[in-house]
Amino acid sequence: MKRLFCALLALALCVGGVSAGALSVEQNPTLDLKAASTILMEKETGTVLCENNSHQQLEPASVTKVMTLLLVMEAIDGGQLSMEDTVTVSANASGMGGSQTYMKEGEQFTVHDMLKCVCVVSANDASVALAEHLCGSEASFVDKMNQRAAELGMADTVFHNCTGLPTPGHVTSAYDIALMSRELILNHPEIREFTTIWMDSIRDGAFGLANTNKLIRYYEGATGLKTGSTDAAGYCLSATAERDGMELIAVVMKASTTGDRFETAKTLLNYGFATYAMVEAQPGEVLPPVAVLMGERDWVQPVASGGGRILVRKADQGRITTEIQLQEDVEAPVEQGQKLGELIVLVDGTEETRIPITASEEVTRLTFPGVFCRLLETLLGK
């Protein structure tokens, strides 16, 4: 049996918006977007807030390095690398050209400093050195890049190198860049240590680094992520920024000038922050305990799991309600995290999402002696 509780979810927030479930992609003709392809995505839900030609296959230039960074960070988190590991620069890596830190063959840097070079100045030599250190060769690393792209659903992408240097057939899309950018910042937030650096140095201060992403200094809440430009690709950018607990990803491809790419990214981010927000969707009252049959305890406390954050529009602020569907009882054993019901979130009466309600702790099943003792206590009126 289930019992149904309804409660108005009071939201005391300065901004709001449509939840992820109901959001439709907008073309936004009123936005001044000076680029061939753009997209704006919210990090936590992966919701696309607006887009323009977001699946057009284009050359990404050094925005390619978002995937390079993702694989390196995954290797660090997986224990294959550490920030303190020493990377030796090969002749191949030192000869990359383009954006670089002029690493010499045989020169050694920590993974930490290599990442700093990639994130801050888009160093091709550091990118290839990391790729070779992790997989033995850049070619093997590129195979891994394409495999990971397929896993992330990046259907518009083919990588031929880890740097973004011009190569025939090396293409991706704004949508795919947003996917890999989201994967990086969502699951590896420590990358911010590098992507938020404005100025730094390597070689004990002898070689200065200045971030190619000017938004880091001039845009409120900027957290990264990666610039890129070549004659063929134009000016590209995956820009991330966070305000009021919501992080957005704005991808710009094939802008005509570096100014256009930054202004277009700012336009997208400003639109997102002005129109949307993440809000907590929680029950308006304490959830009642659920009876446990044949358990060592008579009840278990249910809790809404996963934080219950949803994406909403300002226009819908104050129209959010919740309904609680909760089991009346459950038979032991009960596992911690076992589903006991759902918190249904509605915007203006339309269902937007369902958040699981789960057991806050485990309850073991009564043993035969326990059943006997429980029966005896009942008979004796205890």
CA torsion sign for 44, 259, 214, 16 is negative
Say how many CA atoms lie within 13 Å of 289 toward its Cβ: 10
Residue in 19, 37, 54, 62 annotated catalytic:
62
What is the bridge-based pairing of β-strands 2-8 and 108-110? unpaired
Residue in 37, 43, 54, 65 annotated catalytic:
65
Residue 207 vs residues 31, 43, 84, 113, 201: alpha-carbon distances, Å = 40, 34, 20, 12, 5
Contact assessment for residue 292 and residue 302, using Cβ atoms and an 8 Å cutoff: no
Q: In degrees rounded to 5, what are phi and psi of residue 372?
A: -60, -45
Residue in 122, 127, 229, 238 annotated catalytic:
122
Helix-helix angle 65-77:124-135, to 10 degrees = 40
Q: In what order do the strands lie in the sheet with 299-300?
A: 299-300, 290-293, 329-331
| Closest C-alpha among 284, 301, 303, 305 to residue 292 | 301
Which residues, other chains included, contact 210 with Cβ-Cβ below 8 Å and sequence gap of 6+?
120, 121, 198, 199
Task: Write down the H helix ranges in the chain.
Answer: 65-77, 91-94, 111-121, 124-135, 138-151, 174-187, 192-195, 215-218, 258-275, 368-379
CA torsion sign for 99, 102, 106, 108 is negative
Angle, CA 76 vertex, CA 126 and CA 62 arms, to 5°: 35
**Beta partners for residue 251, in sequence order:** 39, 238
Contact assessment for residue 271 and residue 52, using Cβ atoms and an 8 Å cutoff: no
What is the bridge-based pairing of β-strands 302-304 and 48-52? unpaired
Q: Give yes or no: 65 in active site.
A: yes
How many of the other CB atoms lie within 10 Å of CB of 103? 28
**Catalytic residue positions?**
62, 65, 122
